[in-house]
Amino acid sequence: MDHLDELSLEDLQRALEEVEGKKPTMRLLAAIAYKNGVTQTELAEWYDVERRTIYSWLKRLESDSLAQAVTDGRRSGRPRKLTEEQRERFERTLQDPPTAADYDAAAWHPDLVQRHLEERYDVAYSIPSCRRLMKEAGLRYEPARETEAPKSDERSTDDGPGRSGRWTPS
C-alpha cells in the first residue's frame, strides 16, 4: 500500500463514527476499503469517479487532520448580480401586480421579470434564473386547470405566448 501508512484502520473507523454528510462518509469508507486491500482503480469504479479523485482523497487523508481531510472547505461561489438591497426591493416589487411597476401585464411571468431586471437593475438573467428568483421571492406557479380554456386574446403568464398558468404570491 502506498497511502495511509500513518493511519490505522481504527482511526478511520473512529472518524467514520463522528463524521456527518454524504461526501465525508464516502471518502472515509473509500479509505477503509483501501486499507483492506481494495485498489484505487476498483474504488474509482465503485464510486463512479476518476482514479485521480481517489488518489486525491487518500493524499488529503495523509496530510490533514481526518476531520479536515474528508470535508470540503467553504466555497464562495459566483457573486450575486443584485446587491442585498436591490434584491429586497425586487422581491417586494414582485408581491404587487406588474401594473404597480408600470408594466401592462396582469401578472408576473419570467419574460417580464427578465425585462424588469434589465431595465431597472441593468443585470441580465436567463429565463430559468428568473423562475428561480420568482420562487425565492415567494411566487409560485399554478398551472391552468384543464377545465379552463384560455381565451385567445389573453396573454399567457408563464413564459410568454402559448403557455398557460399563472405565477402568484404564496
Q: Is residue 4 part of a domain?
A: no
Please tell me whether residues 62 and 91 are part of one structural domain. no
Please tell me whether residues 127 and 161 are part of one structural domain. yes
Q: Is residue 51 part of a domain?
A: yes
Q: Which domain holds residue 17?
A: 9-70
Please tell me whether residues 59 and 93 are part of one structural domain. no
pTM: 0.51
* Contact by Cβ (8 Å): 121, 90: yes
Q: Is residue 157 part of a domain?
A: yes
Query: DSSP 3-state assignment of 169?
Result: strand
Please tell me whether residues 164 and 119 are part of one structural domain. yes
Please tell me whether residues 94 and 53 are part of one structural domain. no
Q: Is residue 27 part of a domain?
A: yes
Q: Is residue 1 part of a domain?
A: no
Q: Is residue 153 part of a domain?
A: yes
Query: DSSP 3-state assignment of 48?
Result: coil
Return d(Cα 168, Cα 165) in angstroms, integer.
10
Q: Which grid coordinates are listed for 156?
A: 399567457
pLDDT, residue 163, reads: 57
> Chunked in runs of 10, what are the mean pLDDT values of the chain (170 residues)?
80 86 88 93 94 89 71 75 94 94 93 96 95 93 71 48 72
First to last CA, the chain: 58
pLDDT, residue 134, reads: 95
Give how many domains the chain has, as a whole number: 2
Please tell me whether residues 106 and 163 are part of one structural domain. yes
Please tell me whether residues 91 and 156 are part of one structural domain. yes
pLDDT, residue 153, reads: 46
Last residue of a domain, one of 25, 47, 70: 70
Please tell me whether residues 132 and 106 are part of one structural domain. yes
pLDDT, residue 156, reads: 45
